[in-house]
Amino acid sequence: MKENQPDHREKRKDEGMVVFSNVSKVYGDGTKAVDELDLVINKGELVSLIGPSGCGKTTTLKMVNRLEDCTYGKIYLGGKDITSMDPVKLRRGIGYVVQEIALMPHMSVAENIAMVPKLHRWSRKRMRDRVEELLAMSGLEPSKFSYRLPDQLSGGQKQRIGVLRALAAEPEVVLMDEPFGALDPISRDVLQNELLSIQQKLHKTIIFVTHDMDEALKISDRIVIMRDGKIEQIGTPTDIQENPRTNFVRNFIGEDRLSQISPDDSVSILIEDPWDRVTPDTNAREVLEKMENADIESIQVIDKNDRWIGMALLRDVKRVARVQGRIREAATRKRKLYIEEATMRDAAEMLADKPFSIPVIDKDDIFIGVITEAGVARLTIGRLKRPAGGGVRNVD
Amino acid sequence: MLTDQSLIELFLKYVARSYPRIFELTLQHLTISAIALCITLTVCIPTGIFLTRREKLAPYVIGVANVFQTIPSLALLGFLIFFFGIGNDNAICALFLYSMLPVLQNTYTGIKNVPQHLVQAAKGMGMTDFQILWTVQLPLARPVILAGIRVATVWIIGTATLASAIGGGGLGKLIFSGLASIRYEIILAGAIPATLLALAADQGFKTFQAHYSPERRAQRMAKAALKHKAVKP
């Protein structure tokens, strides 16, 4: 490494997957949409850009794939200055999901997903295999959905395809511009969870624009709060909630976010992704060992397509392990909540009855997450803590 | 006055006697119309596409097409004698000028009406301008463009009957000579094939459009995929 690099910013280009170095966007009439933005987004990180409308978050996003060009400053993608790349090639290497979903209405689902691979001139077979793999991954039966037209899908299914289309050519970086903003609350929730589980498998670098703080808090590794083209605060969701740096951030997070929750709200904000999950054909003895080592009472049995097979309790795992069985035989399906209808009251009642975590699934048996006693306790603590920060509200 | 009965008899007799001539004139009619339509399409579709990229020009160019549209067709034919003399060239040119508007206008509007977010998304995915035009804008504008072509075709076939007034060929010859000699059966022998041609062309475009609708296309692809699976599971 050179010791005396004249410009410290030159060094920074290799620090992250996407690096904004002193980036400004000024329009012809002099309005500054983005004002001297410095931001390093690491590989495999999901970063949300959030702020009121007109804060420059979408412009920032569009500068990455050069749908907008920056007026001053540089953006580096994987260490390369994006203005040195052919915009068409640059865009083919970046996944892009938009709020309007923008599936091509005259193309089948399969053709829509294969749009970017087709631009890369993949072989037919490779495209077909990739489409089937992606559809299966998000729980849509390929033979059933491949040849449907977008108009024959529900809103949630459409945006699921929109996300798959962005992932199809295996880009490193994915840009998402309020992708779930136009969906109903239930679909939005399901898709957020799917995005999280996809992200756990694929570790893409995702820049996610949203105006919904709940969404940002739920899905992001880091949140960038923007105002008037400038960064107001960057931090992890916990950071930002616990230490809002300015009044603007405090107000934007919403002082009474937590106190507004009612017992009849959806369980979705309680859902966590469990680390204790196994595939149905795992040997029960193996699972027993794992459970005893980790000292857990129950485990979720989920197949590779995220379909929930059931939940296995320690005593049943012991019984099946004695006869050398597979974990599938120990799974029961009695304890569960459906994401579409379960309220927090249901969850609390079930936990009060038996302390094991509760699996949450959707109507198609797709596993979404678990609700644990600890999660409920954390939420309660969050509510109790609130009033302490309430005094500084609306100072500005 | 002729009774209906005898008119039909006379008509049938005329057709039986001079069907080779009717057939020949129908072919001529078809040729004139087809040439005029081809010129219209090769000129107006690219121009329409061009106008979507140079929107400031659009009102002027479409305005010019509109002017030709409003001139009575017979007057336009007469006026063009000044440039082309008499005969089929004149007729073809007049038919072209006359049918520009629907094709030009519909190509322009059809492409303009493709939702902007689809174009943006296509661009964001890394399509070149030409790829966006070819795989997104034109397929989505096709129903509108085809509707324009249908209108133009029906106009051309109908108006082509006037070509014989300025010395051109086609079924108009029968109509005009029937009118001159007040022989209704000859008028019918010209009018009926001309009408049938227009109807057939109209229907042809409709069938084409239906065949290539996204729904039918998706169904065919699903079937093909099923076959493919059945052959090698």
Rounded CA separation A361/A61 (Å)? 33
Partners of A208 in the β-ladder: A48, A176
Structure tokens at A117: 């691979």
Q: Are A100 and B117 an interchain contact pair (Cβ–Cβ within 8 Å)?
A: yes
Q: What is the mean pLDDT of residues B29-35?
A: 95
- The predicted structure's pLDDT at residue B43: 97
At A342-378, the pLDDT tens digits run: 888 888 888 888 888 889 888 888 888 888 887 777 7
Q: Are B215 and A106 an interchain contact pair (Cβ–Cβ within 8 Å)?
A: no
Exposed e or buried b per residue across A124-156, where buried means at least 16 C-beta atoms within 10 angstroms of its C-beta: eeebbebbbebbebbbbebeebbbbbbeebeeb
Place B83 in a pLDDT band, splitting at 50, 70 and 90. confident
Residues of chain B neighbouring A107 (CB-CB closer than 8 A): 214
- The predicted structure's pLDDT at residue A390: 40
On the question of pLDDT at B133 being above 60, the answer is: yes
Considering only the beta carbons, identify the residue of B117, B123, B218 that sits closest to A149: B218
Q: Are A108 and B218 an interchain contact pair (Cβ–Cβ within 8 Å)?
A: yes
Q: Are A115 and B128 an interchain contact pair (Cβ–Cβ within 8 Å)?
A: no
On the question of pLDDT at A74 being above 90, the answer is: yes
Considering only the beta carbons, identify the residue of A67, A116, A148 that sits closest to B218: A148
Closest-CA residue in chain B for A118?
Answer: B127
The answer to whether A37 and A195 have CB atoms below 8 angstroms apart is: no
- The predicted structure's pLDDT at residue A294: 79
Q: Are B121 and A148 an interchain contact pair (Cβ–Cβ within 8 Å)?
A: no
Q: Kindly state whether B78 is in contact with chain A, defined as any CB-CB distance less than 8 angstroms.
A: no
Rounded CA separation A313/A359 (Å)? 12
Q: Between A122 and A272, where is the model more confident?
A: A122
Give residue ranges of A with CB < 8 Å to any B CB: 65, 67, 88-94, 96, 98, 100, 102, 104-108, 110, 115-116, 119, 146-149, 165, 175
Closest-CA residue in chain B for A99?
Answer: B117
Residue A191's closest CA among A114, A131, A109, A268? A268
- The predicted structure's pLDDT at residue A394: 37
- The predicted structure's pLDDT at residue B45: 97
- 3-class state of residue A67 by DSSP: coil
- The predicted structure's pLDDT at residue A3: 43
Q: What is the mean pLDDT of residues A383-392?
A: 46
Q: What mean pLDDT, rounded, does chain B reach?
A: 90
Smallest CA–CA distance, residue B218 to chain A, in Å, is 6
Rounded CA separation B213/B215 (Å)? 5
At A298-308, the pLDDT tens digits run: 888 988 888 89
Q: Between A253 and A19, where is the model more confident?
A: A19
Mutant choice from A77, A97, A147 vs B, greatest count of B C-beta within 10 A:
A147
Q: Which of A89-93, A346-350, B7-11 has the highest mean pLDDT?
A: A89-93
Helix (H) or strand (E) run with residue A129 in it: helix A124-137
Q: What mean pLDDT, rounded, does chain A reach?
A: 86
Closest-CA residue in chain A for B124?
Answer: A91
Q: What is the mean pLDDT of residues A45-61?
A: 92
- The predicted structure's pLDDT at residue A393: 39
- The predicted structure's pLDDT at residue A88: 96
Smallest CA–CA distance, residue A109 to chain B, in Å, is 9
Smallest CA–CA distance, residue B24 to chain A, in Å, is 42
- The predicted structure's pLDDT at residue A259: 47
Q: Kindly state whether B113 is in contact with chain A, defined as any CB-CB distance less than 8 angstroms.
A: no
pTM, whole model, 2 decimals?
A: 0.73
- The predicted structure's pLDDT at residue B207: 93
- The predicted structure's pLDDT at residue B87: 82
Q: What is the mean pLDDT of residues B43-52?
A: 96
On the question of pLDDT at B111 being above 70, the answer is: yes
Smallest CA–CA distance, residue B41 to chain A, in Å, is 23
Q: Which residues contact B33 (CB under 8 A, 6 or more apart)?
A: B95, B153, B156, B157, B160, B197
Question: What phi, psi does A230 have (nearest 5°)?
Answer: -120, 160
Residue type, A326: R
Q: Are B124 and A65 an interchain contact pair (Cβ–Cβ within 8 Å)?
A: yes
Place A6 in a pLDDT band, splitting at 50, 70 and 90. very low
Question: What phi, psi does B111 have (nearest 5°)?
Answer: -75, -40
Q: Are A96 and B125 an interchain contact pair (Cβ–Cβ within 8 Å)?
A: yes
Closest-CA residue in chain B for A89?
Answer: B126
Place B135 in a pLDDT band, splitting at 50, 70 and 90. very high
On the question of pLDDT at A384 being above 70, the answer is: no
Q: Are A67 and B124 an interchain contact pair (Cβ–Cβ within 8 Å)?
A: yes
Closest-CA residue in chain A for B115?
Answer: A102
Q: Are B218 and A65 an interchain contact pair (Cβ–Cβ within 8 Å)?
A: no
- 3-class state of residue A39 by DSSP: strand
Q: Are A116 and B125 an interchain contact pair (Cβ–Cβ within 8 Å)?
A: yes
**A254: number of Cβ within 10 Å:** 12
Rounded CA separation B35/B51 (Å)? 24
At B163-190, the pLDDT tens digits run: 888 888 899 999 999 999 988 889 999 9
Q: What is the mean pLDDT of residues A132-143?
A: 91
Q: What is the mean pLDDT of residues A117-130?
A: 95
- The predicted structure's pLDDT at residue B226: 81
Considering only the beta carbons, identify the residue of A105, A115, A148 that sits closest to B125: A115
Residue A229's closest CA among A371, A93, A70? A70
On the question of pLDDT at A94 being above 90, the answer is: yes
